[in-house]
Amino acid sequence: MPGTASHFKMEPAVRKQFREESTIDVKKAKRAAVMALFYPKENNETHLLLMLRNTYPGVHSNQIGFPGGKVEDTDSDLLVTAKRETFEEVGILPEDIEMVKPLTEVYIPPSNFLVKPFLGLYSKVKPFKLDPVEVEALVEVKLVDFLDNSNLMQQYLTTSYAHKILVPAFKLNGYTVWGATAMMLSEIKDLVQKVV
């Protein structure tokens, strides 16, 4: 697993500083899980599913991310969380997801979440059903675009917790994908490039 070495490639400097100076006990963080899904579209061309979150009062408002969310008391494990949240947000039945590999956890300082990503396949694709409360739009990224290094960039952003910070990012389907999602994407990209 490329793990944190992959994450660090897409880590904003402000996050690196926080990581190096923080005394927070990550073991006490809230838990969440997300699902990174590959699936076929037209002409069996492989895509990766991301989504644009709706605008709401919170640090992850209107950001690009994977389907997923926080652990509920009824979830038996983190994979169950990732599949349940994926169903709730984009309508994919848990039994239609083939889990390929658990990925390396990412801690998200602004919301104090420790997130476990999973890599999955959705081979029997059915129409997505978006939760209008949580999801503004799907971002269906072609695998070839995801792997294209020309879609890596740096950009100044202002967030709910920082002003004009320079962040490494992916430019995918016209969206700037940065932060924890970009760090997870970096690990996925390194894994995929080992087999293509």
Express each pLDDT in 139-176 by its tens digit.
Answer: 999 999 999 999 999 999 876 666 788 899 999 999 99
Burial class (CB within 10 angstroms; exposed 0-12, middle 13-18, buried 19+) of 23: exposed
pLDDT of 150 reads: 98
Q: What are phi and psi of 69, to 5 degrees?
A: 175, -165
Share of the chain above pLDDT 70, in %: 93
Residue ranges of domains in the chain, CATH in brackets: 3-190 (3.90.79.10)
Residue 42 pLDDT more than 90? no
Each residue of 72-118: pLDDT tens digit? 999 999 999 999 999 999 999 999 999 999 999 999 888 889 999 99
The Cα–Cα gap between 53 and 32 comes to 16
Query: What is Dmax (Cα atoms) for the chain?
Result: 50
Q: Considering only residues 109 and 177, tell me which one the structure prediction assigns the higher pLDDT.
A: 177
Q: Higher model confidence: residue 51 or residue 55?
A: 51
Distances (CA, A) of 153 to 35, 173, 191: 24, 14, 20
Cα dist. 98→18, 62, 101 in Å?
35, 28, 9
**Where does the pLDDT of residue 14 fall: very low under 50, low under 70, confident under 90, or very high at 90 and above?**
confident
What's residue 103's pLDDT? 97
Per-residue model confidence (pLDDT) at position 168: 95
In terms of DSSP bridges, do strands 98-102 and 68-70 run parallel, antiparallel, or are they unpaired? unpaired
pLDDT score, position 31: 97
Alpha helix positions (H), the chain? 3-9, 13-21, 78-90, 143-147, 179-195
Buried b (16+ CB within 10 A) or exposed e, 109-139: bbbebbbbbbbbebeeeeebeeeeebbeebb
The pLDDT of residue 57 is above 60: no
Q: Distance between CA 100 and CA 1 in Å, rounded? A: 13
Mean model confidence pLDDT for the chain: 91
- Is the pLDDT reported for residue 56 higher than 70? no
Name 116's Cβ contacts closer than 8 Å, sequence gap at least 6. 31, 32, 33, 34, 78, 81, 82, 102, 103, 105
Going by pLDDT thresholds of 50, 70 and 90, the confidence category of residue 68 is very high
